[in-house]
Amino acid sequence: MGVLAALAGVGPVGCAGDETPDQVTLRVANWGSPAVESSFMALERQFLREFEQLHPGVRVQVEQIPGFGQYAPKLLMMHVSGSVPDVISLDASSGAAFMDNGVLRDLKPYIERDASFRLDDYFGNLVKIFRRGDKLYSIPLDFTPMMMYYNRKLFDAAGLPYPRPGWTWEDFRRTAGALTIRDPNPVRPPRQYGFNFINVMPFWVLWLWTNGADVLSPDGRKAGGHFDGPGSVEAVQFLTDLMLKDHVAPTLEESKAAGVDLFRSGQAAMDLKGHWMMIDYRADGIDFGVVDLPTNTGSPTTVVYLTGLSITSRARHPDLAWEYVKFMTGREVQIRRVASGLAISGNRHAAAHYAGNPVEDAFIAAVEYARPPWGATVERYPFIEGLGEEMLEDLLYSKGSLGVAAQLRRTAALIDAALSEP
């Protein structure tokens, strides 16, 4: 109850009073600035108009919340104040704060009495993320595993075969080295890097997982013995060596000085990203492929970042909200919605519509072994990610002089202190 307890002093602010006997307003929350205009947003509005046409007298009011980091805190505050929308987009990375605090409505009763809805239409590994015991709090909308992108043109130029599933850390390190083109002047950074690293913990935590290590204990209650365990130390040492020792990935200073996405600009041959980057890569004309992350354990693993649609416990129109959730997650809308390449549909039939392309197939196959982000089960995990990024920044700016093991031990203690707070 940590987050909501902190918000408990907020008083009610009331609800929108713009309804009439002839018109019902369904309020839907999403992230992003209302000022952002894109073809995807235009398509979203088209879906809303179609839903309104199917339900005369209904107006869908989308409430976009700018600043991704502000989305969850603002919605939690709206819940406490009694002004939360009927439907919210639920990011699994911050899902625990909503699912564990009574903010959402259990969808199981709606599913059981609706013969037109089949939960089997959705990837089971995704549905599981939104379960708490016998209750289900969200229907999968779209998702992406994190995968290793590679630039085929740069591999061809280096005379290297494309990476294949099952490749190892050592394969990756050797490949990244072969793809790095040094400047004749040794004081200058490489002209081309093998790998584009950025210090975002949701991206680099995967190196711990591919080494059989983790940030927290399996029950999510303790970092000591895990984040500072031998496997984590080895993984973070491997990462920092890529930049500081092998110099096959840019240092933080070099990334900042470049001022561009090094993979998109053709200055880095590999990058670890989600499905959403395909939109930009295609627009840039990059000839890319994707492959599983290299592993140090022999088993593939990655994370799946997932968005679902949920009905809030204080929704004013829950039955209408359920119709909206069904409409937006249904096969027909989903096939059109994910055509942009932003993500993969959580509806397995809509996802199958795009199967047959090697890149798409690689992403879809990964959902079977992908793990949920810790934020789906640990309420304070977004704070932990901030600690992890600060730790890695300290290590990189100190050129490793602070010592990986000592820094992980210190950060694990900070995490445990945070987790022990009431």
pLDDT digits (tens, 9 = 90+) for 186-241: 889 999 999 999 999 999 999 999 999 999 999 999 999 999 999 999 999 999 99
Q: CB–CB of 206/374 below 8 Å? A: no
pLDDT digits (tens, 9 = 90+) for 235-270: 999 999 999 999 999 999 999 999 999 999 999 999
Residue type, 135: K
β-strand pairing of 24-31 with 87-91? parallel
Residue 4 clears pLDDT 90, i.e. is over it: no
Task: Give the DSSP H/E element, type plus range, for residue 28.
Answer: strand 24-31
Tell me how far apart the alpha carbons of residues 382 and 211 are, in angstroms, rounded to a whole number.
22
pTM of the model: 0.89
pLDDT digits (tens, 9 = 90+) for 171-191: 999 999 999 999 999 889 999
- Report helix, strand or coil for 158: helix
Q: Is 166 left (phi over 0), alpha (psi -120 to 50) or beta?
A: left
Tell me how far apart the alpha carbons of residues 177 and 188 are, in angstroms, rounded to a whole number.
17
Rounded to a whole number of angstroms, the CA Rg of the chain reads 23
Q: CB–CB of 264/286 below 8 Å? A: yes
Helix and strand element counts for the chain (H, E): 18, 12
pLDDT digits (tens, 9 = 90+) for 331-381: 999 999 998 888 999 999 999 999 899 999 999 999 989 999 999 999 999
pLDDT digits (tens, 9 = 90+) for 43-88: 888 999 999 999 999 999 999 887 667 889 999 999 999 999 999 9
Strands (E), 274-374: 288-291, 304-311, 344-345
pLDDT grade for 422, boundaries at 50, 70 and 90: confident
End-to-end CA distance of the chain: 8
What burial class does residue 105 get, using C-beta atoms within 10 Å of its C-beta: 0-12 exposed, 13-18 middle, 19+ buried? buried
Tell me how far apart the alpha carbons of residues 340 and 324 are, in angstroms, rounded to a whole number.
21
Q: CB–CB of 299/209 below 8 Å? A: no
Tell me how far apart the alpha carbons of residues 107 and 76 are, in angstroms, rounded to a whole number.
19
What burial class does residue 120 get, using C-beta atoms within 10 Å of its C-beta: 0-12 exposed, 13-18 middle, 19+ buried? exposed
Residue 11 clears pLDDT 50, i.e. is over it: no
Q: In 3D, which of 133, 260, 144 has the Cα closest to residue 196?
A: 260
Q: CB–CB of 231/208 below 8 Å? A: yes
pLDDT grade for 36, boundaries at 50, 70 and 90: low
Residue 6 clears pLDDT 80, i.e. is over it: no
Residue type, 119: L
Q: In 3D, which of 201, 190, 88 has the Cα closest to residue 139?
A: 88
Tell me how far apart the alpha carbons of residues 305 and 373 are, in angstroms, rounded to a whole number.
7
Tell me how far apart the alpha carbons of residues 68 and 362 are, in angstroms, rounded to a whole number.
28
pLDDT digits (tens, 9 = 90+) for 91-145: 999 999 999 999 999 999 999 999 999 999 999 999 999 999 999 999 999 999 9
Report the interhelical angle of 230-244 vs 201-209 (nearest 10°).
Answer: 120
Tell me how far apart the alpha carbons of residues 56 and 279 are, in angstroms, rounded to a whole number.
35
Tokens of 186: 């040794």
Q: Is 209 left (phi over 0), alpha (psi -120 to 50) or beta?
A: alpha
pLDDT grade for 22, boundaries at 50, 70 and 90: confident
